[in-house]
Structure 1
Amino acid sequence: MPRGRPPARTRTDVVAAAVAVADTEGLDALTMRRLATELGAGVMSLYTYVRDKDELVDHMIEHVSGYDGPPAPTLLHLAGWQRDLMLRHPWLPAALPGRGLSGPNAIGYLERGLAALAGTRLSGPAKLEVLALLTGFVAGYVNHELAQARAGRTAGEHVAAQVDRLQEAVASGAYPRLAEVLAEGGSGPPPAFPVIAERMIASLTG
């Protein structure tokens, strides 16, 4: 019996091409038609590799999430690793919310995070919640960084602009606590990511 023609590409090829499109053009630009054009393939042929775009994104997340940090990371290490990963793949923060973790790379992150939390008194569900909140914090931080980069301004310039606007608001006298905080200063650049992340982690695990 004829064995048929072997597939022209693998699922890994398709997923890697999708990652390349999303990295350069954004997740919204990634459609099955756009991916087919990138691969020089028919649109319908892509559905032999993935069911739909949603499944494709699941594979993309798994594809880029191979861990390359220290073997026994702390939560701070994991937060820094996630930040670096999201900066390399700016579509990740938008892709992650609401997705289940099923591949070995994604589940490996949970395993490392739970190991880092082993010395705490948190319950199992609370540990998982801490890891979810930490990922959400990092995603929000990276989104902010990317927005400032697109606007062509530094973090310090953004803070200064925000303080100026708040100073106008507190001049009315309606916000005494905010006025007190602003009087202490704060127009300079914000603390570096490790400092902010460490404070966040302390608040979640303390």
Structure 2
Amino acid sequence: MAEARTPVWARTRSAGRGPQPSLSVESVVEAAVALADADGLESVSMRRIASELGVGTMSLYRYVETKDDLLDLMIDHVMGEGERPPRGADWRPELRGIALRYRALVLRHPWVLGVSASRPPLGPNVLDNTERMLGAMDGQGIGIDAMARLGWTVMAYVRGFVMSEIAEAETIRRTGVTEDEYRRALGPYLAGVVAEGRHPLLAAFIHDADDYPDPDQVFASGLDRVLDGIAVDLARMQRARAGRRSDVSVTGDSVSTTR
């Protein structure tokens, strides 16, 4: 059975002896990220990275001990991309900004989605992003577990939406058939479905729906619905918390009166 690894950031690497290093951990990670972006994560190997950097394969192990360490470093590297605007006082635009930034990041680096969703490496950038997400709900009068749950709800929506975008892009790449060509090919079949009259609601949708909904608008609309739901849940928790405080106050007054 494989054992859990100590995070790469918890290990101290000695400088060692010998000539001055010609590379850095950062340059190795950047080369690996570029390969993954261009050809997929499966293309990333120590041999391929060494070839891109013009060095021997074994020399890379001076900077990165294992392939797993490299992957962790790659994920944390891309999680640090993009500017983080100053934190605002209102939770809603704060969570919206976090969601928009995360979507843009994953669309630039599609390989990240499959390797960071369940057990993301807890590097400096991942930790900073998590703190920022929790901070969006700080001061709302709810517990830390609720703060985390509401933040993760937003991130789950982003991952689900982007997963479909990445899948569509991969289908186009694999088949060579664009969405426009796919829709045109389906046209005669769908016309027959509408004519049968067995699916009136679906027929109405086919007739009235936008041909090419803008993904950005669809994402923003769905995100608004998620944030609306969070607002309702947040208000409910705040009312419940206020009610508990009121009960404690009343009980305290009763005790004082009986004495």
Q: Same fold (TM over 0.5)?
A: yes
Encode CA deviations 1:156-179: one digit per residue, 9 max, x unaligned. Answer: x87xx6xx87x959x796xx8xx6
The 5-angstrom pairing of residues 40-189 of structure 1 reads 40-66=54-80, 67-72=82-87, 74-150=94-170, 151=172, 152-153=178-179, 168=193, 180=201, 183=204, 185-186=208-209, 188-189=211-212
Q: Distance in 2 between matches of 1:149 and 1:182?
A: 27
Q: Distance in 1 between matches of 2:229 and 2:28?
A: 41
Q: Distance in 2 between matches of 1:91 and 1:200?
A: 25
How far apart are 1:53 and its partner, in Å?
2.0
**Uncovered stretches (5+) of structure 1, i.e. residues with no partner:** none
Q: Distance in 2 between matches of 1:181 and 1:18?
A: 46
Q: The residue matched to 2:38 in structure 1 has which SS?
A: helix
Cα distance change, pair 205–44 in 1 and its aligned pair in 2 (3 A)? farther
Question: Is 1:120–1:205's contact at 8 Å kept on the other side of the alignment?
Answer: no
Q: % of aligned pairs identical?
A: 35
Residue in structure 1 matched with residue 32 of structure 2 by the alignment: 18
**Uncovered stretches (5+) of structure 2, i.e. residues with no partner:** 1-16, 89-93, 173-177, 233-259
Structure 2 residue 56 is the aligned partner of structure 1 residue 29: no
Aligned residues: 197
Cα distance change, pair 188–49 in 1 and its aligned pair in 2 (3 A)? same
How far apart are 1:36 and its partner, in Å?
2.1
* TM-score between both structures, scaled by the size of structure 1: 0.76
Cα distance change, pair 183–205 in 1 and its aligned pair in 2 (3 A)? same
- Relative to total residues, which structure has the larger helix share, 1 or 2? 2
Question: Is 2:75–2:121's contact at 8 Å kept on the other side of the alignment?
Answer: no
How far apart are 1:101 and its partner, in Å?
4.4
| Greater relative contact order (CA < 8 Å, ≥ 6 in sequence) | 1
How far apart are 1:33 and its partner, in Å?
2.3
Q: Distance in 2 between matches of 1:52 and 1:201?
A: 40
Structural RMSD (CA)? 3.4
The AA in structure 1 aligned to 2:86 is P
Q: The residue matched to 2:41 in structure 1 has which SS?
A: coil
Residue in structure 2 matched with residue 203 of structure 1 by the alignment: 229
Cα distance change, pair 33–201 in 1 and its aligned pair in 2 (3 A)? farther
Question: Is 1:114–1:128's contact at 8 Å kept on the other side of the alignment?
Answer: yes
Cα distance change, pair 50–146 in 1 and its aligned pair in 2 (3 A)? same
Cα distance change, pair 14–84 in 1 and its aligned pair in 2 (3 A)? same
Encode CA deviations 1:93-127: one digit per residue, 9 max, x unaligned. Answer: 12212223422221111122122112545431232
